[in-house]
Amino acid sequence: MKRVVVGLSGGVDSSVTAYLLKEQGYEVIGLFMKNWHDDSVTISNECPWLEDSNDAMIVAEKLGIPFQVVDLSEQYKKRIVDYMFDEYEKGRTPNPDILCNREIKFDVFMKIALQLGADFVATGHYCKKSEEEIDGKIVYKLLAGKDSNKDQSYFLCQLSQEQLAKSLFPIGELTKPEVRKIAKNADLITAEKKDSQGLCFIGKVRLPEFLQQKLQPKTGEIVQIPEDFSEFHKSIPTFQNKEAELIYFSQKYSYKKTDGKVVGKHQGAHYFTKGQRKGLAVGGTKEPLFVIETDVIENIIFTGEGKNHSGLYRNVLFVTNDEIHWIRQDLALKSGEIMEVKARIRYRQSLEIATLYKVEKGLFVEFENQQSAIQEGQFVAWYQQDELLGSGVIS
């Protein structure tokens, strides 16, 4: 009998995951990961971990499976929280959820599961896994979940063949309403529970307050860049080759304070990210202001009016060699090679047509359409059909 350790988070998805595996005849063990216990920055009683671990325990009891809580807060702080502070300080936007999967759930947690004699680790992610024999070797594929509304393959874009080999995603073939229905019929306490928001396993954290523990507030100016800024309208040079063109279009605009007008004050450029519109508290414009760039050195936030502001858009991004990750290593591009893909730069985004260009120093992703708020530190993930082939950190 194969043994599976399920990451029970206290939500409906992982509850149904455990239920289905038990029905399929696996020996199931439930583990709850405790990753955070600084209550000073979570918003009061918005899903504190205690309530979640209780729900997870009740589900385990109902299913008649062993259950325990593992405290991974030390590793979580090192690998996720410190990384977040570090990235924000540099003026980049991290994606803790992707890191949490790569570093915690499918690494630290997986190792604990394997020590418990598990054959597999299972999570309640909406994605699918398949395998195929290619050149005499088993290759694992990560596929989008059936529920296109809930597909979470993007969050797993940093997984490796070794991690996929030992992973199961039982609800990938189901839609969210079907999952809730199964939970209801099985009389699981989590059937109607709201989906948790916020950082994976931290619960709701007020980001500025969370960041303020490490990054001191310092007052700076908000500068509004007009749509007629000269850089937006300069003529495009002739390029000697494709790489020169890609380099040109992957450059972001750079602004100085004198390029616009000061319209307000802020408490620290490192609390803001590109594309953000909340929290600026500047009135008097016809359309809302959006952050188009932050300068953490000079502590200035550059903004533009309206979501179609030129400063928000470009269609080429770059990933350095050390940040390129192929799930399908057998398809990895060599220098000079090209691949047609569909790609996304954030979780909720629909897939966009793009081309990958592998060059000596890294990988360019050229989108057919202009993309809003391409932000350093975020992950770009590329697909063919419904298979996620690889990903990289935007540089």
Q: Which residues are catalytic?
A: 100, 200
- DSSP run (H or E) holding 83: helix 82-89
Which tokens is 167 given?
């992973």
Q: How far apart are CA 371 and CA 307, in angstroms?
A: 12
Which tokens is 152 given?
């979470």
Q: How far apart are CA 38 and CA 51, in angstroms?
A: 15
Q: How far apart are CA 92 and CA 113, in angstroms?
A: 33
Q: How far apart are CA 391 and CA 323, in angstroms?
A: 8
Q: Looking up tokens 């303020």, which residue turns up?
A: 212
Locate the DSSP E strands across the chain.
3-7, 27-34, 67-71, 120-122, 127-134, 137-144, 167-168, 220-224, 261-266, 289-295, 300-305, 313-320, 324-326, 338-344, 352-359, 362-372, 379-384, 387-393
Q: How far apart are CA 28 and CA 3, in angstroms?
A: 6
CB atoms under 10 Å from CB of 182, counted, come to 19
Q: How far is CA 365 from the centre of its chain?
A: 18
Q: Looking up tokens 């030390």, which residue turns up?
A: 74
Beta-strand relationship, 167-168 and 120-122: parallel
